[in-house]
Amino acid sequence: MVQSETRKLRIGGASGFWGDAAMATPQLLAEGDLDFIVYDYLAEITMAVLARARAKDATAGFATDFVTSAMVPNLQEIARQGVRIVSNAGGVNPKACAAALRQEIERQGLHLKVAVVEGDDLLAQREKIAEGAPRDMFSSAPMPPVAQIASINAYLGAFPIARALERGADIVVTGRCVDSAVTLGAAIHHFGWQRSDLDALAAGSLAGHILECGPQATGGNFTDWREALEASGEIGYPIAEISATGEFEVTKPKSSGGLVSRATVGEQMLYEIGDPQAYVLPDVTCDFSNVVLEDRGENRVLVTGAKGYSAPQSYKTCLTWSDGYRSGHLFTFYGLEAEAKAEHFAKTVLSRCRAALARMQAPDFADTSVEIIGTESQFGLLRQNTDVREVAVKIAVRHPDARAVGLFLKEATGLGLTSPPGLSGFAGARPKPTPVLALFSYLTPKDQLKLTITDEAGTEAFDDTPSACPTSTPTPVGAPVEPWAEQLVEVPLVQLAWARSGDKGDIANIGVLARRPDFMPWIWKGLNEAHLQKVFGHFQGEGRAEQIERFFLPGSQSMNILLHAALGGGGTSSLRNDPQAKGYAQLLLAAPIAIDAALLKAGA
């Protein structure tokens, strides 16, 4: 390993999505002694929104909050401390983002260098790409019509960022890179890691994965939320202290609230990683199955054990395309028989709309969704509440023609005087049809992209083609030993584990971390396919044959669960109340599983 620096690298994670709180940057700057602050703004939904913005205005298409909220008020202090910034806020228009930054830097009389990493945007090549007829990497669906494509972006890696830093950039702005690359790029630059340092690259990627969602590593969205959020002060944003070998400690600003523990860091490690032995990134394929999380004092966790394998030859590439229109509305009912009234209202609305479409010889809705919130409709077979007196019914539709969606909205709001009694709702403007930008994911060979780094010194081409490395794969992890006990007791999973859920396209991801290592065999046994079907079967549509996948991580005594075709098409196009599976872990934690009664009692 070639090292340019041996001292620990301190990086603060200041943003987990476009719209994250503006308090993060000043909070991390107040901590002092940081080398970098990194910002992750992009998700599939965000790319769809930014593509829509750029279509209306050629100067738009980047995360404006990065400039106006994160940078403008803090540039003076950033310059004073010498903290360097890396962000993927460029979205689908990184040049415009950099131009806005340079204008503000000049206005404030500062001398900060801004570099832009480009090459991920493939929209101009859509005709040529279509000739290759790629298939969706998850569903095998054919590529959508070229005329309906809004954006095409490859997920770049960390080495171009490291090169931009090597050229002297104080602020690096990228388009679509993988979320963890903003951290890994800083580590590659700091330590001089090479492409062959696979374990270090995997560890640096894991550090980036922990930082990429901001306070989700410091108590946000945490199972034991009271423990994290009752601490005094605003919740702290995470800091990673990375060593030259790649192992790192997670902490937060000393004066901040929140919590850093094995559980908060473990939940974030499992968040949206898919197969933990094949977490594929542009620079390395990561194996997190034997990662160990160790509490090292108050609000400090040591993370070790990440393994790296050969980098892929292709970039994951996400295409967004116009797939009709959607809209929906919430209506509330309260009083006796509230659920029955809401059901009747929803059926009447959709029936009237379908009759009107038939009269116009228009096609039926492509999809509809009715969810009665307040009746435990999300719990499926585990529903317990059957006698409710106030509900909110969400009715949503999707159609190729905006006029059909508009018809639905008009009919739904126009039935107010013919509905069952108890209809109410907060007054406001009628919703409007909104375009659906659906997601299509495929692979692009790396040698087909032309990456560039542009800064005050000019533009430099960058070759990101991976060097030849011995191909190797991790040894598959077996399941925990089958447990047995004379007497069993059923308890909600939350007594035995922490959990967090999220999404990748139309796949729900649920990570489950045992509160005690001896609980894990019982958790694995209890969360079998039959149990998971009972909890989530009502969400899953027709999809891949392997509807449910489970993975065991012995290092952290945890497991990861994938539910295929469970999100109604995914966040960019779904009509669901929870299109990104953010609450799925809560459903699982509420469901009972069996455990050895003596073991449970011994830990009480």
pLDDT at 543: 45
pLDDT at 24: 94
Residue 371 has pLDDT above 90, yes or no: yes
Residue 185 has pLDDT above 80, yes or no: yes
Q: How confident is the model at residue 364 (pLDDT cuts 50, 70, 90)?
A: very high
Short-list 507, 516, 495, CA closest to 558: 516
Mean pLDDT of 7-33: 92
In the three-class reduction of DSSP (H, G, I as helix; E, B as strand; rest coil), residue 516 is classed as coil
Report the distance separating Cα 519 and Cα 13, nearest Å. Answer: 32
pLDDT at 4: 57
- CA–CA distance from 75 to each of 83, 125, 204, 365, 561 (Å)? 10, 37, 27, 50, 42
Q: How confident is the model at residue 1 (pLDDT cuts 50, 70, 90)?
A: very low
| SS3 labels along 423-491 | EECCCCCCCCCEEEEEEEEEEEEHHHCCEEEEECCEEEEECCCCCCCCCCCCCCCCCCCCCCCCCEEEE
Q: How confident is the model at residue 544 (pLDDT cuts 50, 70, 90)?
A: very low
pLDDT at 70: 96
Helix 338-359 vs helix 402-414: angle between axes, to the nearest 10 degrees?
Answer: 140
| Residue 128 dihedral angles phi and psi, to the nearest 5° | -65, -40
Angle CA 422–389–397, to nearest 5 = 65
Report the distance separating Cα 61 and Cα 46, nearest Å. Answer: 10
Q: How confident is the model at residue 469 (pLDDT cuts 50, 70, 90)?
A: low
pLDDT at 260: 97
Q: How confident is the model at residue 545 (pLDDT cuts 50, 70, 90)?
A: very low
Report the distance separating Cα 454 and Cα 451, nearest Å. Answer: 10
Short-list 318, 275, 400, 323, CA closest to 134: 318
pLDDT at 66: 96
| DSSP letter, residue 362 | P
In the three-class reduction of DSSP (H, G, I as helix; E, B as strand; rest coil), residue 96 is classed as helix
- Bridge partners of 333, per DSSP, are 391, 423
What are the boundaries of each domain within the chain?
A: 9-120+155-304, 324-436, 488-602
Pick 324-436's CATH classification: 1.10.3470, 3.90.550, 3.30.70, 1.10.3430.
3.30.70
Report the distance separating Cα 602 and Cα 516, nearest Å. Answer: 12
pLDDT at 381: 86
Report pLDDT digits (tens) over 296-311.
999 999 999 999 999 9
Q: How confident is the model at residue 229 (pLDDT cuts 50, 70, 90)?
A: confident
Amino acid identity, residue 464? D
Query: How much helix, strand and coil, in percent to the nearest 5, is found in the chain?
Result: 30, 25, 40
Short-list 311, 407, 317, CA closest to 354: 407
- CA–CA distance from 451 to each of 150, 163, 441 (Å)? 21, 12, 20
Report pLDDT digits (tens) over 206-218.
999 999 999 999 9
